[in-house]
């Protein structure tokens, strides 16, 4: 049986390459200074594998503390100021005159001029979360000027500076270490395991039509082989590797810069982490073995390209990385892994192609979803719509339902499985006639995580169907939430005249907090949201005069259950 291949043309890659060539100054001539006056010790590297995205910068450790001055790496002007409860938290963007933009995230606070501008806009818009683009050259800084201070805001799990460099024209992110920033790294990458994949229904690896995962064995400082075993393959086969890099002075397991695969001394695959665009970063779920991530908790990087994978990081891939073994013979494989400091590790492995191996194609089921077509599925009480290019491969779609438990109303709908990645949101419509009319507006489609936390989707009624969109497969049901959020004082006194802030704890265990607002004597005041600590904070910013005041905080969840807290204080 011959090996079938699908030819994929990456027109987007060509367009990206043409546009990114417009950077005004080569990396080596940018002459940037370091953003911090402390040693460059990294907790994260560029292109590292994260949840649903590649890491777009480097994470610089700040000795477990906040408040280190951040310095402009070159002359430039503030082109963007952003605050968010998650993600980058408080972030600052400087556009430089050499064709690049530098980005500083998870900040504690900004330079006073930027802080005043931000505060004014937040009060104008009456919200903490803003994304601002000040007029060019309104806020100018010289190389070495203090522009902000390091913090731990947004989705940061420890104090550090997330630092990026972008192409000013394309907004592609570029590996900062290519600009001469030096992080001490004398350690070659660590290779954990080899993964071998059947890429069609006839492919066989040691009999079953399933992935073979093999642990590695270190044989010297930078060489590895695999545990002694007789590996036999037949048909269209792909390879993958689980690898991390560790820099000096930090225990963090970071990403590597490049991966090359050779089979019988012929280059099959190569990628490097030089640059990418944010529009393609979710393709990480095709770049890595998503099933292994969900099922086993590790993240092998595949050396073959799924049909719908538009990543631009691939430098060379021979025939999408799939290798057709149709003859009897012995073969040698080699992986070469490099970090950006030139440290190299290699994995050597042997295997045999055996034409006597054959696997009868498995029945794909009655419902195949094609990645390049619109797909629709209907069953009793459920309707799904999956648009073309929402998947990375064709899948044999599965669905079942089971009795509900816990907070769910009605049955649980098991939509395919969570180990299959989804690129674009798909539509879920559940027909429900058991919920009373008065409770319909409190109903929402949710799934439950392994930690027994609920992830609820914004949901709308259309006649008798409740509709939502999801970017993951899994088990979904309907929750009726009539319970308002929790809200109580944390740092608050009747006399706040000597305090610099007041704070409050809040959460909503079901559908989650949606909005929060505070009013003093009827006038809106700013609250900063710290989701890690489930805290709302008001820093006294001059908007509240001295004297007796009445405070009202209003918090709503996703289905508009409301909690109000009224307090009086003296300022």
- Which CATH number characterizes residue 552's domain? 2.60.40.1220
Q: What is the pLDDT of residue 448?
A: 85
Residues 118, 132 contacting (CB under 8 angstroms): yes
215/335 same-domain check: yes
499 vs 26: CA distance, rounded Å? 50
Question: Has residue 99 been placed in a domain?
Answer: yes
Q: How many CA atoms lie within 13 A of 50 on its CB side?
A: 17
CA distance 311 to 19: 15
All residues at 6 or more sequence positions from 452 whose CB lies less than 8 Å from its CB, including other chains: none
- In-domain check, residue 454: yes
Residues whose CB is less than 8 angstroms from the CB of residue 410 and which lie 6 or more positions away in sequence, other chains included:
404, 430, 432, 434, 477, 478
**Number of structural domains in the chain:** 4
Return the biggest CA–CA distance within the chain: 89
Q: Give the closest residue to 282 by CA, choosing from 137, 424, 434, 116.
A: 424
Residue 41 maps to a domain: yes
Are residue 195 and residue 333 in the same domain, yes or no? yes
What SS3 string covers 34-75?
CCCCCCCCEEECCCCEECCEECCCEEEECCCCCCCEEECCCC
Strand partners, 7: none
Domain boundary among 157, 179, 201: 179
Residue 290: φ, ψ to 5° = -65, -35
Angle at 86 between CA 83 and CA 88, to 5 degrees: 60
In DSSP terms, which residues pair with 135 in a beta bridge? none
| Strand ranges for 318-442 from DSSP E | 323-325, 329-338, 344-353, 368-369, 375-379, 382-386, 395-396, 399-402, 408-415, 421-431
Same domain, residue pair 98 and 167:
yes
* 255 and 128 part of one domain: no
The residue length of the chain stands at 571
The answer as to whether 18 is a domain residue is no
Quote the CA–CA distance of 503 and 2 in Å, as a whole number. Answer: 67
CATH of the domain at 396: 2.60.220.30
Domain around 211? 190-353
Banded model confidence at residue 11, pLDDT cuts 50, 70, 90: very low
Whole-number pLDDT of residue 6: 42
Residues 325 and 247 in one domain: yes
Confidence of residue 261 (pLDDT cuts 50, 70, 90): very high
Q: What is the pLDDT of residue 2?
A: 58
Examine the domain organization and report whether 40 and 77 are in the same domain.
yes
Provide mean pLDDT across the span 124-129: 97
Q: In angstroms, rounded to a whole number, what is the distance separating the alpha carbons of residues 277 and 279? A: 5
Give the domain-ending residue among 152, 179, 206.
Answer: 179
Same domain, 301 and 326: yes
Same-domain status, 91 and 224: no
Whole-angstrom distance, CA of residue 138 vs CA of residue 131: 16
Summarize the confidence of residues 481-490 as an average pLDDT.
97
pLDDT of residue 364: 63
Answer whether residue 471 is part of any domain.
yes
Contact 289, 186 (CB under 8 A): no
Confidence at 434, pLDDT banded by 50, 70, 90: confident
Mean pLDDT of 273-281: 97
| Percent of the chain whose pLDDT exceeds 70 | 95
CA distance 527 to 450: 31
Q: What is the bridge-based pairing of β-strands 523-525 and 204-205?
A: unpaired
- Per mean pLDDT, which range of 205-209, 234-238, 353-357 is the poorest? 205-209
Q: Which residues contact 394 (CB under 8 A, 6 or more apart)?
A: 307, 368, 369, 370, 371
The answer as to whether 26 is a domain residue is: no
* Pair 226, 341 in one domain: yes
Contacts of 243 (CB under 8 A, 6+ apart): 189, 190, 191, 192, 256, 259, 301, 335, 337, 345
Same domain, 173 and 52: yes
Instruction: Note whether residue 17 is domain-resident.
Output: no
- Residues ≥6 apart with Cβ < 8 Å to 403: 411, 412
End residue of a domain, out of 448, 463, 480? 480
Nearest to 346 by CA among 179, 156, 191, 125: 191
Question: Does residue 431 sit in the same domain as residue 318?
Answer: no
Q: Do residues 200 and 340 both lie within one domain?
A: yes
Look up the CATH number of the domain holding residue 155.
2.70.70.10
Residue 361 lies in a domain: no
CA dist., res. 91 & res. 357, Å (int): 56
- Read off the pTM: 0.92
């Amino acid at each position: 049986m011959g090996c079938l291949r699908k030819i994929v043309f990456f027109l987007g890659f060509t367009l990206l390459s043409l546009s990114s060539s417009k950077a005004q100054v080569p990396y080596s001539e940018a002459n940037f200074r370091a953003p911090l006056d402390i040693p460059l010790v990294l907790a994260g590297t560029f292109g590292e594998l994260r949840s649903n995205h590649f890491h777009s910068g480097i994470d610089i450790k700040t000795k477990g503390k906040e408040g280190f001055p951040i310095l402009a790496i070159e002359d430039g002007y503030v082109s963007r100021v952003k605050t968010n409860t998650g993600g980058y938290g408080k972030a600052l963007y400087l556009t430089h005159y050499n064709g690049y933009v530098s980005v500083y995230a998870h900040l504690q606070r900004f330079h006073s001029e930027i802080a005043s501008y931000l505060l004014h806009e937040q009060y104008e818009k009456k919200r903490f979360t803003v994304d601002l683009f000040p007029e060019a050259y309104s806020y100018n800084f010289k190389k070495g000027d203090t522009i902000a201070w390091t913090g731990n805001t947004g989705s940061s799990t420890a104090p550090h500076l997330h630092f990026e460099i972008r192409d000013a024209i394309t907004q592609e992110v570029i590996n900062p270490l290519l600009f001469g920033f030096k992080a001490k790294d004398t350690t070659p990458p660590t290779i954990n395991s080899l993964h071998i994949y059947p890429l069609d229904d006839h492919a066989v690896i040691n009999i079953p039509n399933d992935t073979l995962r093999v642990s590695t064995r270190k044989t010297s400082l930078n060489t590895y082989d695999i545990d002694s075993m007789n590996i036999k393959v037949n048909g269209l086969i792909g390879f993958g590797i689980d690898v991390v890099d560790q820099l000096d002075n930090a225990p963090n397991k970071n990403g590597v810069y490049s991966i090359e695969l050779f089979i019988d001394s012929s280059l099959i695959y190569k990628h490097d982490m030089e640059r990418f665009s944010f529009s393609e970063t979710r393709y990480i779920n095709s770049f890595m073995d998503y099933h292994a991530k969900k099922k086993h908790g590790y993240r092998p990087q595949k050396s073959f390209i799924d049909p719908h994978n538009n990543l631009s990081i691939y430098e060379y891939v021979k025939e999408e990385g799939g290798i057709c073994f149709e003859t009897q013979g012995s073969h040698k494989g080699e992986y070469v892994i490099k970090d950006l400091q030139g440290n190299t590790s290699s994995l050597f492995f042997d295997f045999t192609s055996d034409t006597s191996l054959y696997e009868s194609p498995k029945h794909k089921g009655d419902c195949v979803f094609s990645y390049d077509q619109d797909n629709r599925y209907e069953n009793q009480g459920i309707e799904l719509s999956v648009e073309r290019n929402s998947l990375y491969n064709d899948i044999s779609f599965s669905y079942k339902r089971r009795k509900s438990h816990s907070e769910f109303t009605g049955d649980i709908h098991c939509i395919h499985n969570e180990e299959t990645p989804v690129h674009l949101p798909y539509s879920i419509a559940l027909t429900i006639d058991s919920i009373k009319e008065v409770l319909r507006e409190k109903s929402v489609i949710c799934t439950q995580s392994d930690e027994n936390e609920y992830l609820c989707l914004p949901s709308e009624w259309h006649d008798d169907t409740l509709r939502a969109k999801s970017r993951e497969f899994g088990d979904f049901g309907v929750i009726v939430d009539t319970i308002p959020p929790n809200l109580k004082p944390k740092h608050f006194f009747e006399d706040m005249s000597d305090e610099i802030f007041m704070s409050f704890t809040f959460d909503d265990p079901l559908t989650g907090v949606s909005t929060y607002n505070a009013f003093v004597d009827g006038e809106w005041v700013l609250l900063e949201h710290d989701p890690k600590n489930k805290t709302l904070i008001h820093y006294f910013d001059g908007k509240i005069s001295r004297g007796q005041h009445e405070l009202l905080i209003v918090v709503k969840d996703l289905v508009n259950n409301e909690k109000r807290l009224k307090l009086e204080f003296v300022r």
